[in-house]
Structure 1
Amino acid sequence: MKRRILIIEDEIDIARIVKDYLNINGYETAIAENGQDAWHLIHTLNPEFIILDLTLPDIDGIELCRQIREEVDTPILILSARGSDTDKVLGLGYGADDYMTKPFSFTELVARINAHLRRFESLEKKKENDSILQFGKNVIDKSAYKVTVDSKAVSLSAKEFELLYFLAKHKNQVFTKTQLLDAVWGYTNYGDENTITVYVRRIREKFEIDPSNPKYLKTIWGVGYKFSFDEE
């Protein structure tokens, strides 16, 4: 399947030349001549790469870059005649992954796109792999908020899952109740530490074969809890 690239450029002649060159190099492309059209195509086309000009009729390109980055992780390459250090610093600071000035080399443009797409794909695969934790026949899948114990699905509440995943992600590391409140609930000053005790008990009842003698979710007396797993 061809990779989708969105070209946000108000100079239509330049946009069409870039589009034609990228099409020749195996990409599927679309053109947006302003910020409004860009948002429509971002939501409908779901591009895998964005080429962004800074001079647009309805919005400054740097501001549009900031808005796009708040919503999606898609790689952004700014392609602009504005080549000052200030523009480059602002563009990269607001979320662009790369910056090229006009006039530019089409060969270099394609090389940079390819490099960013390879890097982005590698990061996405790493995220996907990191989201699945497996301990024997037990699996904790962060992407699906799904837990299976001995190949059977177990129903956990969102916070039960997040606490279990956090501890399992940091296997063999001991956390105090305060640290767990901060990591999972996001507060420490007014949190009730008994919340952790209750949630640990609930998780053990669902995740452990023998909740009174837990194999995974261990209590470290006087300190807190840890998730441990030793291959048998």
Structure 2
Amino acid sequence: MNEHIAVVEDDPNIRNIVSAFLKKEGYEVTLLSSAEEGMKLWKDTPPDMWVLDIMLPGMNGYDFCKEIRDYSDVPIIIISAKDEEIDKILGLELGGDDYLTKPFSPRELVARVKRLFKRAQNNISTKDKQDVVQVDELHIHKNDRRILWNGKEQDVTTKEFTMLLLFAENANRAFSREELLVKVWGEDYFGSDRAVDDLVKRIRKKFPELQLETVWGYGYRLRNEEDSK
């Protein structure tokens, strides 16, 4: 099955041009003119990637991006006429994976779409020798990407899984925010380390008893009491 891309853009000319180039590459494309339409699609048949304009009627793209990112790590490419650095940083901090300034080349957009899908696929592939990693009551099944807490399976996003696995495989080791950005988001991530704090906050909300500690002024570590004895 071909990857499904949702394009949320209120300019019909841009929508049609982007759609033509993406379909030529074999992608399934859904065209939407508002974030509200995007919310409905997300609930009914969520796509594999979003191409999202910022200046939209009704809910703006920033708010929609944040809504998606609170529950999913699906790749998001932001397109906007705003070319100030602060706008790019805000879009990436809210969860965008890439940012293109209008006017842009449709071929460049296609290249970035391919790169993000490739990165997502690399994140999913498992190269580790051992299948299960355990820290106290946390059990991570790497090959089928499942997480159990106190024997019950928990729903997690891709980045939550990646960060938990990193901590579990390196229990009691402190990671700086910069290290976590590289290992979880990738070396080409452009944005502040606030994304790390937001992800840790989401993990703590799902696993309130997990000993995921703050190393003040540095970063975070997962405490394993068995290894500490």
TM-score norm. by structure 2 comes to: 0.61
Q: Supply the AA of the counterpart residue of 1:48.
A: D
Asked if 1:97 corresponds to 2:94, the answer is: no
**Which one-letter code corresponds to 2:59 in the other structure?**
I
Residue 34 (structure 2) aligns with = 34
| Matching of residues 188-227 of structure 1 within 5 Å | 225-226=226-227
Measure the CA separation in 2 of the matches of 1:131 and 1:48. Answer: 29
Residue 107 of structure 1, CA deviation: 1.2
Verify: 1:185 aligned to 2:209, yes or no.
yes
User: CA RMSD of the aligned region, Å?
Assistant: 3.7
**How far 1:120 moved relative to its partner?**
0.9
1:133 corresponds to 2:157: no
In 1: Cα distance, 2:100 partner to 2:14 partner: 14
For residues 168-196 of structure 1, give each alpha carbon's deviation from its aligned partner in whole angstroms, at most 9, with x where no partner exists.
x55998xxxxxxxx9982469xxxxxxxx
- Report the CA distance shift for 1:2/1:172 in structure 2 as closer, same or farther (over 3 A): closer
Q: How many residues align?
A: 166
Q: Any idea what SS the aligned residue of 1:6 has?
A: strand
1:130, CA displacement in angstroms? 8.6
Amino acid at match of 2:2: K
Give the letter for the 1:29 counterpart: V
Which residue in 2 is equivalent to 1:72? 72
The unaligned stretches of length 5 or more in structure 2 are 134-138, 154-163, 173-203, 213-224
Rounded to whole Å, the distance in 2 between the matches of 1:131 and 1:75 is: 28
SS in 2 for 1:185: coil
Shift of 1:111: 0.6
Shift of 1:141: 3.1
Distance 1:60 1:129 in 2: 41
CA pair 131-145 structure 1, distance change in 2 beyond 3 A: farther
- Which structure 1 residue ranges, 5 or more long, are not aligned? 147-155, 160-164, 174-181, 189-223, 227-232
Counterpart-to-counterpart distance in 2, 1:48 and 1:33: 18
Which AA in structure 1 matches 2:54?
A: L
Please give the TM-score of this superposition, normalised by the length of structure 1: 0.60
Give me the whole-angstrom Cα distance separating, in 2, the residues matched to 1:85 and 1:13. 26
CA contact (8 A) 1:131 1:141 kept: no
Q: Secondary structure at the match of 1:71?
A: coil
Larger Rg: 1
Partner residue, 2:195: none
| Greater relative contact order (Cα < 8 A, sep 6+) | 2
Offset at 1:53? 0.4
1:57 and 2:57 matched: yes
- CA distance 1:133–1:104, shift in 2 (3 Å): same
Query: 2-side partners of 1:29 and 1:117: how far apart?
Result: 15
Aligned equivalents of 1:99, 1:170: Cα separation in 2: 32
DSSP 3-state at the match of 1:95: coil
CA distance in 2, matches of 1:106, 1:92: 20
Structure 1 pair 130–53 and aligned structure 2 pair: CA distance change class (3 A): farther
How many Å apart are 1:79 and its aligned residue? Answer: 1.0
| C-alpha distance in structure 2 between counterparts of 1:84 and 1:171, whole Å | 39
Counterpart-to-counterpart distance in 1, 2:58 and 2:129: 40
Q: Which residue of 1 aligns with 2:113?
A: 113
Distance 1:187 1:133 in 2: 19
Structure 1 counterpart of 2:5: 5
Structure-2 residue corresponding to 1:200? none
- Pairwise CA distance, 1:13: 2.1
**What is the Cα deviation at residue 125 of structure 1?**
2.0
| Structure 1 residues 22 and 132: alpha-carbon distance in aligned structure 2, compared to 1, 3 A threshold | same
